[in-house]
């Protein structure tokens, strides 16, 4: 925690407008239900309006002052983005001291940028390039020829295998593995012979890869994660996958080999895609959904095998009424039988 | 392996009753199909009664002596719990020497409890507290301000990030990551801006987290795992998740952000829960099931999207008969058509 | 990259036949769409025949010369296996220097084979055996009594816990955990008491385990992975699982405790199996499929709960037509009603 700031000071930092008492001192930011008079809170979803009105928070970040009359407010177009900035203000990241920790094992031929830091218990291979103000935390292992851009943050115990490249401002969370071999075998008479995986992984700028996620190197060429894409924990990205820019891949989703994903697409939790597919731009695969064939731009896919969400929901509804349908069919059969009997009696 | 023990000696350790020859010497414990005359075995599921009767085991742990007449037995109310205790007797854990290994990198200001051990190749941050008789195994990384209780066991290469707290008698298996950043972004015009994750993770007493599982720190506040809860391998617990006491989360299950789970609940393998849900106490989500909305205490949930198990099974059965249903409908249509034809002929 | 080779020289290495100009020099191997005149490419799937015909590749590996007339070719029975061998020729693995890195922490009593290498920042327990020409990469942790065969490759940061055994020529990718405790608890009055897991994991010869996969040690006895079996990233193999020889377990699949899998079986991505099952030989569980009961040899299983694929596809098709079926039933009801009305009018 840093010292407190006035609403006016925060407004200046955020480019926000103060409504109410700009002199009010704020010591931190908290959710509506945990904030006190010394805290700023935030309302970015109207469904929490009552909670906001009832919150003892000293001030609230809102999009429109009309939402909360008679309260001290910071008004801005993007309250949640403002929350991110205020968190940086009150929780500044401690940057480790620059240079190589004495316990690190580092090849003589590496290139270390100004302000860069290589932490304890690390192992850095031959010909590695580490950009300016980049942080390699404790226990990381970088293979030969790995290239890290500027202002990269590797959390503890990340592995980046030989030759892989990480762009500027990327973040890799603990335990992630970048550049493991793809699952490639030539099977002859039931025996699986390893196909050497000689490609690399490229993370473009501003990519974040989270904890214990695995990204396989290409068999040949590149597995590539597009600029600004964020990948959650325990996600699997197979060899030669191409993920476009500004995508979100949520936890435990998995993308099979050589599949391409267009920019601004989303895979929700535990979703998946088969291999060698072409997934368009702005595609959303909902939780547990699986793309088993290529899908055009803007598709919302649900279920397994994945179908357009509207169709999937209709089918789900029909399945739910299925026992009723079967009862109805049985009833109709009885009515038909009685009609048929009448017919015979007439004859 | 330690030296052998008499049935009577084991009975005293377990508070069990000997039936048969108390002098019989036991060298270890084995499953029914692998035990010899020198071994103790166990019967905790009646369906294995015949296997038990046929087993060459020297003695058997049972709940009731009537189950296996004419055998040497150890009789106790909880045979499987007794198995756990006997395993401890014959396989005592080797405790590493107390103190800090010379290869460890440790801040000067840490607090190390009596009998605690910090293993080789570890990195321990500023202001870390390590309780009495706690073991930090090789390759672990503890961030600044981490607190470990007494008699905690961290297996090799565990990462616990800044500020997280681990209760007494917790066990964390290899490769687990506690306190990675949550998947939180403020998306503006399709660009995902990182929301700093400034909360922590709290593991209450007697929690076990298994291999390569990931638990994200809260955005603000705490992600909390309740006392006595056990979490299997490769499980994902997202930011601000609250798991109650004495729950079981089986391998590859995933709980989305801010979801609360009541005590004594179970998520089976590859199960899941959407975010911001309230999962009651004693809830069971069966294998591959997914809670997509809040569920009351005691619910047994199955399938995707998750429904009460009985309803899910009815629906599954109806789906299995669906091809028959369609045949029946086609048949009825023919019979109706012929009735209609007759009607016209009459006219 | 090594120096270039003539087609004839490559043909000799592969036992292949040259068609066309054997003097042509090849500098590397590339996919059809990325190869130039200096590259060899390959055609192992007829559906890419047009792409092969159009490729500027200098030469192409094919099964039959008739496929690509008027091109320089290398003809062999198994083009994809040949690709694997050519990749080895042009991308020879750099073998680390033999011996123990000064930063490694190694017990005095280990046995180190000729040509074996123990990398930086590693921790090797008591009584460990490391075979000839085996590589233990940076950051690996081997528990007491671990045995590694000859020509094993452990990528960075692998953990192998006490007593586990790894056969000859095995490969373990980064972050994998071999021998973590199984998820075994004796639950009494809602409290979960840990059952010590005192068994081991055995990887037979030629097994590959990929990144961040977890394999639990047996409660008692062995968890065993059969010779030649390959396991992809983020797979979970629970305690006492027995996987046969030459199986493939694709990413994010999970096998529950004590289940046996016969040889040459395949679990596709995100597939699973319940516990205590007997899965036959040559079984295929398709993507996202789950074996919930034992299945005989040769079964192709799909869906959840898993059913024979043909049956599953029929059911899926019926489900897709379900809304039509419901419309049809409604229509029949109207027709029956009108017949019934006529009947009454007649009366």
Residues of A in contact with C174 (CB under 8 A): 141, 159, 161, 177, 180
Given its phi and psi angles, is residue C322 left (phi above 0), alpha (psi -120 to 50 degrees) or beta? alpha
Mutate to test the interface with A, among B176, B220, B325, B336 (most CBs of A within 10 A): B220
Residues of A in contact with C335 (CB under 8 A): none
Q: Which two tokens stand for residue B324?
A: 């028959």
DSSP 3-state of B259:
coil
Q: Mind telling me how many Å the CA of C323 is from chain B's nearest CA?
A: 11
Q: Which residues of C are catalytic?
A: 239
pLDDT confidence band for B346 (50 / 70 / 90) = low
Taking CB atoms and an 8 Å limit, are C78 and A188 in contact across chains? Answer: yes
Its ipTM equals 0.95
Residue A347: its pLDDT value, please? 56
Section B30-42 average pLDDT? 94
Residue C287: its pLDDT value, please? 98
Per-residue pLDDT tens over the stretch B197-229: 999 999 999 999 999 999 999 999 999 999 999
pLDDT confidence band for B347 (50 / 70 / 90) = low
Q: For A18-29, give the secondary structure using H, E and C.
A: EECCCCCEECEE
Q: Mind telling me how many Å the CA of C160 is from chain A's nearest CA?
A: 16
Residue C1: its pLDDT value, please? 47
Backbone phi, psi, residue B160, to 5°: -120, 115
Q: Mind telling me how many Å the CA of C59 is from chain B's nearest CA?
A: 44
pLDDT confidence band for C323 (50 / 70 / 90) = confident
Residue A308: its pLDDT value, please? 97
Task: Flag whether pLDDT at C204 surpasses 80.
Answer: yes
Chain A and chain C share a number of CB contacts under 8 A equal to 179
Taking CB atoms and an 8 Å limit, are C139 and A123 in contact across chains? Answer: yes
Residue position matching structure tokens 């305690």:
C239
Rounded to the nearest 10 degrees, how much is the dihedral formed by the CA atoms of C24, C29, C30, C35?
-10
Mutate to test the interface with C, among A103, A236, A288 (most CBs of C within 10 A): A236
Residue position matching structure tokens 């989703």:
A253
Task: Flag whether pLDDT at B153 surpasses 60.
Answer: yes
Section B251-268 average pLDDT? 98
Q: Mind telling me how many Å the CA of A144 is from chain C's nearest CA?
A: 10
Residues of B in contact with C321 (CB under 8 A): 326
Per-residue pLDDT tens over the stretch B88-147: 999 998 889 999 999 999 999 999 999 999 999 999 999 999 999 999 999 999 999 999
Across A279-283, B316-320, C342-346, least confident range: C342-346
Residues of A in contact with B183 (CB under 8 A): 210, 230, 232-233, 250-251
DSSP 3-state of C261:
strand
Q: Cis before residue A305, ω within 30 degrees of 0? A: yes
pLDDT confidence band for C347 (50 / 70 / 90) = low
DSSP C11-42: HHHHT-EEES-TT-EE-EE--TTT--TTEEEE
Q: Which residues of A are catalytic?
A: 239
Mutate to test the interface with C, among A107, A186, A189 (most CBs of C within 10 A): A186
Task: Flag whether pLDDT at B343 surpasses 80.
Answer: no
Taking CB atoms and an 8 Å limit, are C210 and A214 in contact across chains? Answer: yes
Taking CB atoms and an 8 Å limit, are A272 and C287 in contact across chains? Answer: yes
Taking CB atoms and an 8 Å limit, are A198 and C155 in contact across chains? Answer: no
DSSP 3-state of A120:
coil
Taking CB atoms and an 8 Å limit, are A139 and B143 in contact across chains? Answer: no
Residue C324's alpha-carbon distances to B290, C321, C334, in angstroms, are 28, 5, 16
Residues of C in contact with B175 (CB under 8 A): 159, 175, 177, 180, 212, 214
Residues of C in contact with B248 (CB under 8 A): 185, 192
Could you give the count of Cα atoms lying within 13 Å of A268 in the half-sphere of its Cβ?
A: 21
pLDDT confidence band for B328 (50 / 70 / 90) = confident
Taking CB atoms and an 8 Å limit, are B248 and C305 in contact across chains? Answer: no
Select the more confidently predicted residue: B250 or B332: B250
Residue B17: its pLDDT value, please? 96
Average pLDDT, chain C: 95
- Closest residue of B to A77, CA-based? B188
Q: Which two tokens stand for residue C32?
A: 């059809």
How far apart CA B287 and CA B300 sit, in angstroms, is 11
Task: Flag whether pLDDT at B344 surpasses 80.
Answer: no
Closest Cβ opposite residue C139 in set A141, A270, A342: A141
DSSP 3-state of B146:
coil
Residues of C in contact with B103 (CB under 8 A): 103, 105, 123
Residue C346: its pLDDT value, please? 62
Average pLDDT, chain A: 95
Percentage above 90 pLDDT, chain C: 87
Residue C73: its pLDDT value, please? 97
Residue position matching structure tokens 């892989």:
A164
pLDDT confidence band for B2 (50 / 70 / 90) = low
- Give the angle subtended at the CA of C43 by the CAs of C38 and C48, to the nearest 5°: 110
Q: Report the number of secondary-structure helices (H) and strands (E) in chain A.
A: 5, 40
Per-residue pLDDT tens over the stretch C42-71: 998 889 999 999 999 999 999 999 989 999
How far apart CA A316 and CA A310 sit, in angstroms, is 10
Task: Flag whether pLDDT at A260 surpasses 80.
Answer: yes
Per-residue pLDDT tens over the stretch A149-208: 999 999 999 999 999 999 999 999 999 999 999 999 999 999 999 999 999 999 999 999
DSSP 3-state of A252:
coil
Q: Which two tokens stand for residue B230?
A: 């056990």
Residue C2: its pLDDT value, please? 57
Q: Which of B44, B168, B193, B239 is catalytic?
A: B239
Q: Are A210 and A227 contacting, i.e. CB atoms less than 8 angstroms apart?
A: no
Q: Which chains touch A (3 or more CB pairs under 8 A)?
A: B, C
How far apart CA C232 and CA C257 sit, in angstroms, is 19
């Amino acid at each position: 925690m840093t010292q407190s700031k006035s609403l006016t000071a925060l407004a200046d930092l955020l480019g926000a407008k103060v409504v109410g008492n700009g002199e009010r001192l704020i010591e931190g930011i908290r959710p509506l239900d945990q904030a006190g008079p010394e805290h700023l809170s935030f309302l970015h979803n109207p469904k929490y309006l009552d909670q906001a009105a009832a919150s003892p928070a000293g001030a609230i970040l809102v999009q429109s002052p009309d939402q909360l009359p008679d309260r001290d407010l910071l008004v801005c177009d993007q309250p949640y983005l403002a929350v991110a900035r205020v968190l940086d203000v009150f929780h500044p990241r401690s940057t480790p001291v620059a240079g190589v920790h004495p316990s690190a094992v580092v090849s003589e031929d590496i290139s270390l940028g100004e302000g860069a830091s290589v932490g304890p218990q690390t192992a850095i291979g031959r010909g590695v390039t580490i950009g300016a103000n980049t942080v390699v935390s404790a226990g990381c292992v970088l293979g030969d020829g790995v290239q890290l851009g500027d202002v990269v943050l590797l959390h503890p115990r990340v592995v980046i295998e030989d030759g892989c490249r990480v762009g500027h401002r990327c973040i890799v969370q603990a335990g992630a593995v970048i550049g493991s071999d793809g699952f490639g075998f030539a099977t002859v008479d039931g025996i699986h012979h390893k196909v050497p995986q000689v490609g690399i992984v490229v993370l473009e700028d501003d990519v974040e890869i989270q904890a214990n996620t695995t990204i396989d190197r290409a068999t040949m060429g590149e597995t590539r994660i597009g600029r600004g894409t964020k990948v959650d924990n325990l996600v699997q990205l197979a060899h030669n996958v191409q993920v476009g820019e500004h995508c979100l891949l949520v936890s435990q989703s998995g993308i099979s080999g050589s599949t391409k994903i267009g920019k601004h697409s989303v895979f929700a939790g535990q979703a998946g895609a088969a291999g060698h597919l072409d997934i368009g731009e702005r595609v959303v695969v909902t939780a547990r959904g699986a793309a088993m064939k290529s899908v055009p731009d803007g598709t919302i896919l649900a279920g397994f095998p994945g179908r357009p969400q509207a169709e999937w929901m209709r089918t789900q509804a029909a399945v739910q009424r299925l026992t009723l349908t079967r009862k109805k069919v049985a009833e109709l059969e009885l009515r038909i039988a009685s009609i048929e009997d009448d017919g015979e009696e007439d004859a």
